[in-house]
Amino acid sequence: MNDEDLPRPKGDAASLLAKEDLSPYSQDELQERISLLEAEIVRVETHRSKAAAHREAADSLFKKPES
């Protein structure tokens, strides 16, 4: 069985990050964290756009002709 076949665990990474105590982090560490999160946002938005385009193409392919 592949990991892809397993159900997603409850609570995604973003919600776990939101619960983390930030007080131990230095200013530099916080800035690095912000940069990593901004890069992840770009990655997720890119994936969402590709998925939307794929869905739109599939919808137009299988769309019933209007009467």
Give the pLDDT score at 55.
Answer: 92
Section 32-40 average pLDDT: 97
Greatest CA separation for the chain = 64
Give the pLDDT score at 33.
Answer: 96
Give the pLDDT score at 37.
Answer: 95
Q: Point out the least confidently predicted range of 6-20, 25-39, 41-55.
A: 6-20
State the pLDDT confidence band at 15, using cuts at 50, 70 and 90: confident
Measure CA 22 to chain center. 22
Measure CA 24 to chain center. 26
Cα dist. 13→3, 4, 28, 63 in Å?
Answer: 16, 16, 22, 36
CB 63 within 8 A of CB 56: no
Give the pLDDT score at 4.
Answer: 65
